[in-house]
Amino acid sequence: MPRTARKLTLADLELRGRRLLLRTDLNAPLANGRVADDSRLRAALPAIRTAREMGAAVVVTSHLGRPRGVPDPALSLRPVAERLQELLGNAVGFGSGPAGDPSADPPELRPGEVVLLENLRFHPGETRNAPEFAAALAAYGDEYVNDAFGAAHRPHASVDACARRFPRAAAGPLLEAELESLGLALGDPPRPFVAILGGAKVSDKLPVILSLLGRADRVLIGGAMTYTFTAAQKLPTGRSLVERDRIAEAAKLLDDHSDRLELPADHCAAPAPDAGPVRTLPIGEIPADWMGLDIGPAARAAFAAHLRDAATIVWNGPMGLFEDPRFAEGTTAVAHAVAEATGRGATSIVGGGDSLAAVRRSGLSGRISHLSTGGGASLAFLAEEPLPGVEALADA
């Protein structure tokens, strides 16, 4: 994989009779005291099952929400432990751990036993990457594995300082798969290589745009960040979201990469997201008191044409206000085009909450090569920024 040497993996460790401290991403939404979406729990199962098969006792850790360093019963991982037990088909204990009770001793566990510790972010030392909290957490394991790609870009104790206390800190199967798949885009991908980037703000995606413009044959821009580029072309944007302080950077990107950077040809506009009629207009046309909220049919067709011939595809971010069905067609169309290209042999990598939601809502999950579990982490990786949770792991 580019940017980093291959890391030790779970399979490289000798775990028989050992306690494995396993950092996972179980940051699942809760509703009425129960897990509302267990997809992240299911993603953690292979690491837990493999570690048990290797003879380890498994101490699972995760964060949930943003409790800001203080215990919050509404963000307890206890419901997660209950659902994890159902999915695993084996008992899953629940312990306060150093985040819930800093004076608690690590539990005595037999090989094959699993315990989930309380929300790491209940302790302020987690987000501060505090050495003392990392040391207290490290006492719960003889070996360490990070399988939480979604947190790998955070310099937090459980993924950084804690991992560095283990000479053979390793990557779990989920983290390993993410690095391999995303690494394809930064290495020597099969061509043509097409990237699709959406979302609200250019500022959020600018490092990724710059990185991918140096590698991709085509970078397609959608979502609200389209309008900062439109403003850079001195075209009307109405009341669409424009980052005025990023117009100059957008203009330079258009000047330097006009052969590879493509904006939508048309868009769907309305007076407001929740009111008024919807009109399809050329991208440079919009009433002064209207706003663009989705890519239009011509843009969908043009983007699909680029994807039709692609051999490698990276997609991150929605094409419009995906939450509203009136403005979801662009994102859904891209999801289908990516799936169809994958069926023709392309390698597709999709990340970002709305992009993943569009894929799943369309029933296309099984038709994408790789669904990335980490929105912020995948963006940081593609922007070639260091990931503390990966740098802390031992090289193979």
C-beta contacts of 304-309 below 8 A and 24+ residues apart:
304/333, 304/334, 304/337, 306/192, 306/194, 306/218, 306/220, 306/262, 307/194, 307/196, 307/334, 307/337, 307/338, 307/340, 307/341, 307/346, 308/337, 308/340, 308/341, 308/344, 309/192
Which stretch of DSSP H or E encloses residue 94? strand 92-95
pLDDT averaged per 10 residues, the chain (length 396)? 74 98 96 94 97 98 96 97 97 95 88 98 98 97 97 97 98 96 92 96 92 95 97 97 96 95 98 93 96 98 97 96 94 97 97 88 94 88 94 96
pLDDT tens per residue, range 193-234: 999 999 999 998 999 999 999 999 999 999 999 999 999 999
Complete edge-to-edge strand list for the sheet that includes strand 347-351:
261-262, 218-221, 193-197, 312-316, 347-351, 370-371
Catalytic residues: 40, 201, 353, 376
pLDDT value at residue 2: 44
Determine the 3-state secondary structure of 355 from DSSP: helix
pLDDT value at residue 102: 81
pLDDT value at residue 4: 57
Smallest CA-to-CA distance from 156 within 62, 70, 76, 77 is with: 62
Residue partners of 303: CB distance under 8 A and separation at least 6: 196, 220, 222, 264, 295, 333, 334, 337
pLDDT value at residue 354: 85
Structure pTM?
Answer: 0.90
- Which DSSP string corresponds to 141-176? -SEEEE--GGGTTS--TTTTTTGGGSTT-EE-HHHH
Query: Over pLDDT 90: what percentage of the chain?
Result: 90
Burial of 305 from C-beta contacts in 10 A (0-12 / 13-18 / 19+): exposed
pLDDT value at residue 1: 39
Q: What is the DSSP letter of 6?
A: P
